[in-house]
Structure 1
Amino acid sequence: MSMVPSVNVAAIDHHDDHRATSPKFNDPSLKSTWSHRVWVATGCTTISVSLAISVVGSVTSHLQLELILALLLGYLFADLASGVYHWAIDNYGDASTPIFGSQINAFQGHHKFPYTIVEREFANKLHMLGCFVTFLVLPMDFMYHDQPLFMGFVGMASGCLMFSQQFHAWAHETKNKLPVIVVVLQDIGVLLSRSQHVAHHKRPFNNNYCIVSGVWNRFLDDYKVFEALEMMVFLTFGVQPRSSIKPNYG
């Protein structure tokens, strides 16, 4: 049972009209544009520079073992960050929310028609994260080029976050349509598995938010971390999480 007190649902506008009909598989909104591809390319280039700085600097400084730890921490941080962000846009805001409105809109459509994510083209899925990575990480490549361990953490974290939507899409795809290496990585827990993520699309739709590997999901759900955050948001802003007030949320 949710920790958040009940409120007047009728007073909340969720802008859900866009979810009334299923999108068509040939819908242009599922296709990649050249601007999408450019942002993905710049994001990948930015991440590659970060990782190159980290590898070269760590080798010349004899910090290879420390680099491995930095990369592992970046990977773990990315999974946690993906869960926090996923929880936030799943439960708060709408299509008119500044900056994040299109992401919120897309994730709400995904909850109504989850299968469409596998039809969405690669750059279409990743371009917004590529844009974010470019603007956030590229300045770090110049500012912290002499700190290889930090750049290793940043490169791994930003890379996993940028590709998290692809990991998410793979978790919705049937195994026989996935590359063997992806299936292996899912089975050993390196990437988010279909069996773990399917719980997120079942009632009460308030768990398993992390979409890189899902390694944090059990801890966050068992200790009701997001329910505690929802209580804090409600007490501060009087806003109820979407998952607890919409019976047909998923």
Structure 2
Amino acid sequence: MSILAQHKYPSKYHVHTCHSPLLRTRVYCSTTTTTTTKPKPNLEQLVIEPQLNPSPNLVTSAPNRPIFNDPSLRSTWSHRAWVASGCTTVLISLAKATMGAAESHMWLEPILAGLVGYILADLGSGVYHWGIDNYGSASTPIFGSQIDAFQGHHKWPWTITRRQFANNLHSLARAVTFTVLPLDLASNDPMFHGFVGVCSGCIMFSQQFHAWAHTTKSRLPPLVAELQDVGLLVSRSQHAAHHRSPYNNNYCIVSGVWNEFLDKQMVFEALEMILFFKLGVRPRSWSEPSSEWTEEAETPSQIIGH
């Protein structure tokens, strides 16, 4: 804007104003308006560059998403040592049952005891699975790591198929070692060891049965697929219901024979109500599904990488 006062710039034209003691000045204003138009982007020239992962094996599309070659899924020598120890204690128990039955010529009792152990192992796996799914956290003493693993398993269930054998079993193998070894030393009764050997063995290997329940049938050993088909091991189709809303059923992961009874009789729901009214603790399943348990499937790159 420029401001021009007439009395400062004399010309041949004389402009009369009124006869007033005050000087009147005419002010002429000229304005210049400049309009700047922002150029529109040419959409044809836009190039979207993909984010590159720092490593081809990493998956970074979601926070805390497991990575393909996660070292925590690999077996260590300590894992293998605990699994070997657990298997040894179970085999000692089974050997004592077999030798005792051979010496006494009584085979029926140890076999029936083993059958009871197999059935109760499935029930025990369901109760334990229900407990760590619904209560506690990663900071819980003793069980914290397993609680964290099982709760994360609901978001990324496919990771269990990536765990190496000893990595998957070492926690239960350690518990079996400390529990069964004293029993091996304390008793020689064949019926007792028939029960202990089968029950502890099924409990220790329940995590492997669980992993097989998440494995496609084409990738299973033929014997395992057959055992699933006849109902001796929990099947993929049966366990799949546990990973669907409302996330409060089919907890048993040995044979799954207890699942229908426990779910129809609402046994775990009754236990949850008792704990809530007695201790004021709410199970996690009451507030699910949530983003923490919303299942995320494998990406195509992970499937190809596997």
Q: Specify if TM > 0.5.
A: yes
CA–CA separation in structure 1 for the residues paired with 2:126 and 2:202 = 12
Compute the displacement of 1:231 (Å): 0.8
Q: Larger Cα Rg: Structure 1 or Structure 2?
A: 2
Corresponding residue SS for 1:139: helix
5 Å-filtered alignment, 1:34-113, equals: 34-113=77-156
- 1:79-111 Cα offsets, whole Å, 9 max, x none, are 000000000000000000000000000001111
Alignment-derived partner of residue 210 in structure 1: 252
Alignment-derived partner of residue 23 in structure 1: 66
Compute the displacement of 1:56 (Å): 0.5
CA–CA separation in structure 1 for the residues paired with 2:289 and 2:209 = 28
Normalised TM-score (structure 2): 0.74
Q: Return the structure number with greater relative CO, CA threshold 8 A, min gap 6.
A: 1
Gaps of 5+ in 2: 1-61, 295-306
Alignment-derived partner of residue 178 in structure 2: 135
Compute the displacement of 1:20 (Å): 4.1
CA–CA separation in structure 2 for the residues paired with 1:197 and 1:175 = 13
Over aligned residues, Cα RMSD in angstroms? 1.0
Normalised TM-score (structure 1): 0.91
Alignment-derived partner of residue 173 in structure 1: 215
Corresponding residue SS for 2:256: coil
Compute the displacement of 1:246 (Å): 3.0
Gaps of 5+ in 1: 1-18
CA–CA separation in structure 1 for the residues paired with 2:165 and 2:285 = 28
Alignment-derived partner of residue 235 in structure 1: 277
Check conservation: 2:247, 2:289, Cα contact below 8 A.
no
Compute the displacement of 1:21 (Å): 2.6
Matched, 1:148 2:190: yes
How many residues in Structure 1 have an aligned counterpart in Structure 2? 231
- 1:94-135 Cα offsets, whole Å, 9 max, x none, are 000000000000001111100000001000000001100000
Matched letter for residue 178 of structure 1: L
Check conservation: 2:74, 2:163, Cα contact below 8 A.
yes
Check conservation: 2:110, 2:193, Cα contact below 8 A.
no
Corresponding residue SS for 2:168: helix
Tell me which stretches of 4 or more aligned residues in structure 1 moved more than 3 Å. Answer: none
Compute the displacement of 1:25 (Å): 1.9
Compute the displacement of 1:247 (Å): 2.5
CA–CA separation in structure 1 for the residues paired with 2:77 and 2:289 = 39
